Amino acid sequence: MQLVQGFSRQRDVSFVRVSLGYWRGMVQHGRPLKQVQSPPPPDYVIAQSVEPQPILEVAKAAGLAPSELDLYGQFKAKVRLNVLERLRDAPTGRLVVVTGITPTSLGEGKSTTTVGLSQALGAHLNQRVFTCLRQPSQGPTFGIKGGAAGGGYAQVIPMEEFNLHLTGDLHAITAANNLLAAAIDARVFHESTQSDEALYRRLTAKGFSPIMLKRLQKLGIEKTDPKSLTPEEQRRFARLDIDPETIAIRRVLDTNDRFLRSVRIGLAPTERGYERLTGFDITVASEIMAILALATSLADMRERFGRIVVGHQRGTGLPITADDLGITGALTALMKDAIMPNLMQTLEATPVFVHAGPFANIAHGNSSVLADQIALKLVGADGYVITEAGFGADIGFEKFMHIKYRAAGTAPRVAVLVVTLRALAMHGAGAGVRAGAESNMVRHIENIRKFGVRCVVALNRFKDDTDAELATVIDVARRAGACDAVVASHFEHGGKGAVALAEAVVRACTASTDAQHDVPRLLYSLDMPLEEKVRIIACEVYRAARVEWTAEARRKLEKLEQLGYEKLPVCMAKTQYSFSDDPEKKGAPEGFVLPIRDIRLSAGAGFVYPLVGEIQTIPGLPTRPAFYDIDVDVETGQILGLS
Amino acid sequence: MQLVQGFSRQRDVSFVRVSLGYWRGMVQHGRPLKQVQSPPPPDYVIAQSVEPQPILEVAKAAGLAPSELDLYGQFKAKVRLNVLERLRDAPTGRLVVVTGITPTSLGEGKSTTTVGLSQALGAHLNQRVFTCLRQPSQGPTFGIKGGAAGGGYAQVIPMEEFNLHLTGDLHAITAANNLLAAAIDARVFHESTQSDEALYRRLTAKGFSPIMLKRLQKLGIEKTDPKSLTPEEQRRFARLDIDPETIAIRRVLDTNDRFLRSVRIGLAPTERGYERLTGFDITVASEIMAILALATSLADMRERFGRIVVGHQRGTGLPITADDLGITGALTALMKDAIMPNLMQTLEATPVFVHAGPFANIAHGNSSVLADQIALKLVGADGYVITEAGFGADIGFEKFMHIKYRAAGTAPRVAVLVVTLRALAMHGAGAGVRAGAESNMVRHIENIRKFGVRCVVALNRFKDDTDAELATVIDVARRAGACDAVVASHFEHGGKGAVALAEAVVRACTASTDAQHDVPRLLYSLDMPLEEKVRIIACEVYRAARVEWTAEARRKLEKLEQLGYEKLPVCMAKTQYSFSDDPEKKGAPEGFVLPIRDIRLSAGAGFVYPLVGEIQTIPGLPTRPAFYDIDVDVETGQILGLS
């Protein structure tokens, strides 16, 4: 049968020709907004005021064949990974990563800038462009934050699809993560309540499945007939003997449910007292999400799932993996559609991939490697892919380089650093931009330059900002090493408001390269000890004086090294509100001691994450949640009130 | 902007003409299987051996306009509700409900018969036919049960889509249910930790939203300016004062996670000791699911969501609803796509709606009213809609009549009662069909006749069944009041194996009506007291001697009556393995006492559900779960091992 979704090896040669025709000017890339209102109305009103292009048209203009798409309604599509095969030998475009200074709790418009810049490049400068965004958690949409599709006249549409179910990828992650969690506790329970013999007999009643043979190999048992194992081999095969205290997989929900932060499970009589304290995280904090974001193919994703460490064996302390549980294939089955990037569009009809959204705190906070890679092939040598990195550059950009770039192999040409006067004022000593208020921006610029990446500062203009203040900041930015700094007003004006920014980005991408300063480089190598990797990030990026490990963290660090995980990169779990571990330390603090309280493993995603202070992994609902405003017009089916 | 999904009022008159052309013989309805293997290979091998028709073709052949579809890939589509408007004046087809005798734990092939009968009607008898099935819970797919798309050569394809995410409706229910649950606990927490004044100020900081005005109306406060309320009015508005002991909404997951049956939540320090014992149900047990299945429009679904009782007020005992929480619109936004039925196809390319799957135990266990209604219009006066009712006829068919038929207004012409010798043997005294073994079947036939519905018995043939045994059963069935009884072998032969059954169904639907016996009727009226409704079901359908209420259940019954819920129908929560409350009582027990341990309210779905014995609302994973066999071929993307 023809594949439902996936990886047909057919190539449609005639289509390649047709799509190249598009690139040669048959279709303009994007479509400028006809008019904007001032001041801009609420986000959902703007989003619903623009008729989206049928996604099939957006896809064609982007160089995708209809056979490479799975439509999800008229305005969303999944893009099959076989497009990468068709474009294997195509040249790769220019990657631009959007990051920001240390943010306020209101956000400084990083997504909005990512979208606005794309609209400017595509619909105004007629460049080939693709935007790659993270899919937001659905939880905050109903809580405090509202949507994350950009804002004002720089948005991804339909914004209600973007902010709610999209094509179900987050739901697939919830399902996969929770199947894994349920399987762990059920296995512990069954092992605790059954004899070796009964356990082995039930496990092998249908013979050895392929994944069971993999476990036998790992155990060094070279047999394929269940009857041929010695009682000792049977016991080693059947008893994972996971220490419940070491279970590393928490359950997840894509809901802001504070009462699930810490829960005691297994209290029903049927669980016979095998109760346990655990908790729920928000879905985007799942390791399954981090894996989705870093996987380079379906096979790679499956391999990574298999490596997930779910806990450690009693006594030996050996890691027990998803492969040992026999669940790798089922996780892959649940995630096989989610691995395909989701195609949407901006208000100005430029193409957007929305794909993966790992928690920027305990994971790496960047959209998927696959979306970037497909987009880079689709835009071609002279095109632009604008991708966003979560939080400030100390977190999102550092992880973009050390984790995502390392996994994907594609370096950014330019980093766009988003700055607002509002945030600078917070980093200064109170209201207004005073001397020293730019210190935070200056340090982020310096950091980006350390990685050998050019920096363009995008100064998002708010209505009360004065020209003089803006000019000061631009001047400081240039002197600090930014190759350019420009004011942008895409929130109010759409792509038109970001044309100067787009031009600066084009210049930065195409200017001749200074081999010494403009070659992307990493600050640590994987061969260094984990402790040294942490030290380099803490001292070079955060500018801590030194790192202090708790005894518990050091014990875990040593165990990770013993178990052979010392070659992994590190993914710091730190507050986004300061370079330091203290969210109150604004500006550019230095000389502080960075405490490491704990260090954990995401073996499937392929990193360890040291915890700097408390990280909240499931938000709550405020007294007056955003859901009060959300409704559906039952006559038209339109969603109302999303911001 | 053109609606993304929903309810455009445009009618495409030319299309109506074209689609009528289809009906007049332009396109054959369905496409017989070219060949079958004997014995049949595993379900997923059969399912993947047939190339599905593009769903657009299936839709066109079924009389749907492309503008009435939202495609989800090539082989699934959602059908917009505006089709009902276009077909408002079209004649309605014949509704056939498939039910069964008291089942064994292996299932007797009810879904398979529903699909096989449809394949026979469409692809072999060239009748216009539509199949309406429930969407299965994803949990059991990875546990014991395997898939639920039918089996053998009578399946819905692609079966992996059917059994996994489909179009995300179950995920939407999980999200909506858990948002509601989170909102309840968060509200209790915020009310407990804030003064009247702070609470009111935060709730009304953005003024009164429309749903807040609705609450004011309910409280008899006719004001629209937050500043104008007296302190007493402010307190009444802001304090729902839900008694945590009465919270009626449990959280849900679509995962077989036994450790979540009973959990203590709120144990993190941030919840300041407001911990509480609660639990998770499987997603299909959510009231949101029951509402989806019974809603007749988007507006009706929204109204029902608003009526959900989430708990009772301390002191007054008054019900607090989703409307009071202000969350009705958000729930509707999460469910606005889920309300559209999902179009798929059988192995013989006849059209199928897969839509809603309320737990047959604590809810009514029938697929959606909307899917049936749309299908009945699409097939037209001479066409057939084959819809399935969960469990045995004592549960699924009784609820089909008393709850779904009452909500939908469309009576079945015929009930098909699925019977297997295997199940009859279990109801007799051991192996083989002996005297009295048919008692269970006989009673189900009698019960169906009590409702004035014609009964056709479908005897699903297994390979070791003898002709003599089958002939005996057929004879007994006819004498018991079935208008026909036929042997079917669709599992082995596809629609061809159910042609005799299909012909019997056609005869039963078209034979002249005996006004006395063949007019659908209900066994109780809504005006009767709740206790009397329960008694009628227990004594007339189950044949209990009498009903015994626990003191607790009686207390709750009285409270429901006081609160004005006495006009609702009742939805019995009883084991499916016996007419009685004891799963071990096989055959046709009588004279037993039916205990009612508890009675609960689903005010949104519109029924009360008395609990007869313990009902397990979240299954567990066995020692060797089905997930061991499930995998994805990473080269082709095909899912392997689903049964």
* Alpha carbon of A46: minimum distance to chain B alpha carbons (Å): 11
Query: Do the Cβ atoms of B284 and B170 come closer than 8 Å?
Result: yes
Q: Does B34 touch chain A (CB under 8 A)?
A: no
pLDDT digits (tens, 9 = 90+) for A533-545: 999 999 999 999 9
| Residue A15 pLDDT | 38
The side-by-side arrangement of strands in the sheet containing A276-278 is A276-278, A263-265, B263-265, B276-278
Region label for A136, one of left (φ > 0), alpha (ψ between -120 and 50) or beta (otherwise): beta
Helix ranges (H only) for A467-576 are 467-479, 490-493, 499-510, 530-536, 551-562
* Alpha carbon of B47: minimum distance to chain A alpha carbons (Å): 9
| Residue B516 pLDDT | 73
Q: Nearest chain B Cα to A181, which residue?
A: B257
Interface of A with B in 538-557 (CB under 8 A): none
Q: Nearest chain A Cα to B276, which residue?
A: A259
pLDDT digits (tens, 9 = 90+) for B405-425: 999 998 999 999 999 999 998
Place of tokens 């309840």: B184
| Residue B183 pLDDT | 97
| Residue B141 pLDDT | 86
Average pLDDT over residues B430-442: 69
pLDDT band at A262 (very low <50, low <70, confident <90, very high): very high
Distance, in Å, from the CA atom of A42 to the CA atom of A85, rounded to the nearest integer, reads: 42
Note whether B396 and B490 are same-domain residues: yes
pLDDT band at B21 (very low <50, low <70, confident <90, very high): very low
Q: Choose the final residue of a domain: A312, A335, A358.
A: A335
Note whether B112 and B256 are same-domain residues: no
Using a pLDDT cut of 90, give the percent of chain A over it. Answer: 82
* Residue B631, in any domain of the structure: no
Q: Do the chains contact at A334 and B256, CB–CB below 8 Å?
A: no
Q: What is the CA radius of gyration of chain A?
A: 25
* Residue A516, in any domain of the structure: no
Q: Choose the final residue of a domain: A335, A368, A384.
A: A335
Note whether A353 and A495 are same-domain residues: yes
| Residue B79 pLDDT | 98
B555: CATH: 3.10.410.10
Judging contacts by C-beta atoms under 8 Å, the chain A residues touching residue B638 are 3-4, 6
Judging contacts by C-beta atoms under 8 Å, the chain A residues touching residue B3 are 636-638
Looking at the DSSP bridge assignments, the partners of residue A415 are A97, A455
A86: CATH: 3.40.50.300
| Residue B436 pLDDT | 66
Nearest 5°: the CA angle B618, B177, B244 is 85
| Residue A514 pLDDT | 78
Using a pLDDT cut of 70, give the percent of chain A over it. Answer: 94
Q: Do the chains contact at A263 and B259, CB–CB below 8 Å?
A: no
Average pLDDT over residues B349-366: 92
Average pLDDT over residues B295-307: 98
Mean pLDDT over the full length of chain A: 92
Residue B620 has pLDDT above 60, yes or no: yes
Average pLDDT over residues A273-285: 96
pLDDT band at B307 (very low <50, low <70, confident <90, very high): very high
CA distances A484 to A126, A449, A466, A479, Å, are 21, 13, 20, 10
Residue A225 has pLDDT above 70, yes or no: yes
Note whether A324 and A351 are same-domain residues: no
Note whether A198 and A328 are same-domain residues: yes
Q: Is A71 helix (H, G, I), strand (E, B) or coil?
A: strand
A621: nearest CB among B183, B255, B276? B183
Instruction: Give the dihedral sign, CA B158/B163/B164/B166.
Output: positive
Residue B398 has pLDDT above 60, yes or no: yes
pLDDT band at B147 (very low <50, low <70, confident <90, very high): low
Q: Which two tokens stand for residue B356?
A: 């809603």
Q: Which two tokens stand for residue B369?
A: 């009213």
pLDDT digits (tens, 9 = 90+) for A308-361: 999 999 999 999 999 999 999 999 999 999 999 999 999 999 999 999 999 888
| Residue B294 pLDDT | 97
Residue A475 has pLDDT above 90, yes or no: yes
| Residue A17 pLDDT | 35
Note whether A416 and A541 are same-domain residues: no
Note whether A108 and A75 are same-domain residues: yes
B4: nearest CB among A161, A267, A299? A161
Return the H-helix or E-strand segment holding A335: helix A328-335
* Residue B629, in any domain of the structure: no
Judging contacts by C-beta atoms under 8 Å, the chain B residues touching residue A286 are none
pLDDT band at B429 (very low <50, low <70, confident <90, very high): low
Query: Do the Cβ atoms of A119 and A359 come closer than 8 Å?
Result: no
Query: Do the Cβ atoms of B397 and B144 come closer than 8 Å?
Result: no
Query: Do the Cβ atoms of A80 and A65 come closer than 8 Å?
Result: no
pLDDT digits (tens, 9 = 90+) for B548-558: 999 999 999 99
Q: Which two tokens stand for residue A357?
A: 């959204």
Note whether B538 and B551 are same-domain residues: yes
Task: State ipTM.
Answer: 0.93
Q: Does A261 touch chain B (CB under 8 A)?
A: yes
Interface of B with A in 114-143 (CB under 8 A): 138, 142
Q: Does B447 touch chain A (CB under 8 A)?
A: no
Mean pLDDT over the full length of chain B: 92
Q: B541: Cβ–Cβ under 8 A, 6 or more apart, which residues?
A: B394, B398, B447, B450, B523, B579
Helix ranges (H only) for A480-618 are 490-493, 499-510, 530-536, 551-562
Average pLDDT over residues B290-303: 98
CA dihedral angle for residue A368, residue A371, residue A373, residue A376, rounded to 10 degrees: -130
Q: Do the chains contact at A326 and B628, CB–CB below 8 Å?
A: yes
Distance, in Å, from the CA atom of A71 to the CA atom of B392, rounded to the nearest integer, reads: 39
pLDDT digits (tens, 9 = 90+) for A497-539: 999 999 999 999 999 877 777 789 999 999 999 999 999 999 9
Nearest to B632 by CA among A354, A408, A297: A297
Residue B14 has pLDDT above 50, yes or no: no
| Residue B145 pLDDT | 64
| Residue B515 pLDDT | 72
| Residue A147 pLDDT | 66
Q: Choose the final residue of a domain: B317, B335, B353.
A: B335
A214: CATH: 3.30.1510.10
Q: Do the chains contact at B186 and A266, CB–CB below 8 Å?
A: no
Q: Do the chains contact at B637 and A336, CB–CB below 8 Å?
A: yes
Note whether B199 and B291 are same-domain residues: yes
| C-beta atoms surrounding A120 within 10 Å | 33
Q: Do the chains contact at B182 and A48, CB–CB below 8 Å?
A: no
Q: Which two tokens stand for residue B25?
A: 């013989």
Distance, in Å, from the CA atom of B254 to the CA atom of B408, rounded to the nearest integer, reads: 27
Number of domains in chain B: 3
Residue A84 has pLDDT above 60, yes or no: yes
pLDDT digits (tens, 9 = 90+) for A238-248: 999 999 999 99
CA distances B14 to A448, B7, B10, B25, B66, Å, are 61, 19, 12, 18, 13
Query: Do the Cβ atoms of B299 and A634 come closer than 8 Å?
Result: yes
Quote the domain boundaries for residue B252.
170-335
| Residue A515 pLDDT | 72
pLDDT digits (tens, 9 = 90+) for B22-40: 433 334 578 999 999 999 9
| Residue B426 pLDDT | 87
* Residue B51, in any domain of the structure: yes
Higher pLDDT, A428 or B502: B502
DSSP for A222-239 reads ----GGGS-HHHHHHHH-
Task: Read off the amino acid at residue B156.
Answer: V
| Residue A24 pLDDT | 39
pLDDT digits (tens, 9 = 90+) for A136-162: 998 888 887 666 789 999 999 999 999
Mutation target among A141, A155, A627, A629 for the B interface, most CBs of B within 10 A:
A627
Q: Do the chains contact at B632 and A257, CB–CB below 8 Å?
A: no
* Residue B62, in any domain of the structure: yes
Average pLDDT over residues A454-472: 94
Burial class (CB in 10 A: 0-12, 13-18, 19+), A304: buried
Q: Do the chains contact at B624 and A297, CB–CB below 8 Å?
A: no
* Residue B517, in any domain of the structure: no
Interface of A with B in 575-634 (CB under 8 A): 620-625, 627-632, 634
* Alpha carbon of B277: minimum distance to chain A alpha carbons (Å): 9
* Residue A36, in any domain of the structure: yes
Average pLDDT over residues A468-496: 96
| Residue A249 pLDDT | 97
Residue A642 has pLDDT above 50, yes or no: yes
Average pLDDT over residues B90-114: 93
* Residue B481, in any domain of the structure: yes
Note whether B539 and B390 are same-domain residues: no
Residue A221 has pLDDT above 50, yes or no: yes
Average pLDDT over residues B316-321: 96
* Alpha carbon of A144: minimum distance to chain B alpha carbons (Å): 13
Note whether A180 and A323 are same-domain residues: yes
Judging contacts by C-beta atoms under 8 Å, the chain A residues touching residue B201 are none
Note whether B199 and B329 are same-domain residues: yes
Interface of B with A in 171-200 (CB under 8 A): 171-172, 174-175, 178-179, 181-183, 185-186, 189-190, 194, 199
B202: nearest CB among A203, A624, A630? A624
Task: Read off the amino acid at residue A338.
Answer: A
